[in-house]
Structure formats: C-alpha cells, structure tokens
Amino acid sequence: SAVISQKPSRDICQRGTSLTIQCQVDSQVTMMFWYRQQPGQSLTLIATANQGSEATYESGFVIDKFPISRPNLTFSTLTVSNMSPEDSSIYLCSVWDSLTQNTIYFGEGSWLTVV
C-alpha cells in the first residue's frame, strides 16, 4: 500500500490566518484527493488535486478558500485560508492508483483547531 505522510499532524491556528498542509506519497499515484472531517462528522470531499492543472472542487468548496497545488505525482498541498472556528476539522489526504489495486488510501490527517 502507499505510504502517505501529512504535515502538520496538528496545529492550533489564529482566526484570520492561513495554513498550508502538505501531503507526500512514497510512490507516484494517479489521483490525490483532499477530504474534510468536521468534529463528529463523516468525511466530505473538498477537491481532487490534478497534477499540472487546477484542482476540481466539490460543491460548497472554492479555490479562494482552499487553494490546492499538485506539482508532481507524489506531492500536494492544501491551504485553508482566512480561517474561522468553523474550519476546525481534520483534513485528510488520500490517494488512488491502479497500482494500489483500486484501493483509496488515507494519510493520518491534519488536525486543525482555529481559535
């Protein structure tokens, strides 16, 4: 299975600031995704990170709030901009590739608390 590393693992952020989360995979993967898990909730897809082009955002998520980069096939970043307490969540990177035998794997998540 793919090994996915996320940084930071946890952070406490001030209201109005921005934070960038990094996701590094130990192998080249076709697709990378960013999910959000709000406290006590299930996971919701924010966007699909596309290598070399703009990310594809789900309904309710916009690029100005959650800019995403994917410069190559092993790395992606998600920025949470102008944070408010409602952004306090776990943000999870996930990957899919034919080499992972149709399985989507997740990182350990980045636990953000906005104060």
Partner 1 sequence: AQSVAQPEDQVNVAEGNPLTVKCTYSVSGNPYLFWYVQYPNRGLQFLLKYITGDNLVKGSYGFEAEFNKSQTSFHLKKPSALVSDSALYFCAVRDLEYGNKLVFGAGTILRVKS
Show the tokens assigned to 24: 């590094």
What track of x and - describes contact with partner 1 for positions 65 through 104 (by CB under 8 A)?
-------------------------x-x-x-x-----xxx
Residue 34 found at the interface with partner 1 (CB under 8 A): no
Residue 59 found at the interface with partner 1 (CB under 8 A): no
Nearest residue (CB) to partner 1, 73 versus 90: 90
Nearest residue (CB) to partner 1, 6 versus 76: 6
- In angstroms, give the least distance from the CB of 110 to partner 1: 9
Of 45, 67, 73, 88, the residue at the interface with partner 1 (CB under 8 A) is 45
CB within 8 Å of 34: residues ≥ 6 apart:
23, 45, 46, 47, 49, 66, 68, 76, 78, 91, 92, 93, 94
Residue 56 found at the interface with partner 1 (CB under 8 A): yes
Residue closest to 23 by CA, chosen among 47, 53, 56, 58 = 47
Residue closest to 61 by CA, chosen among 36, 39, 40 = 36
Binding site for partner 1 (CB under 8 A): 1, 6, 31, 33, 41-45, 48, 56, 58, 90, 92, 94, 96, 102-109, 111
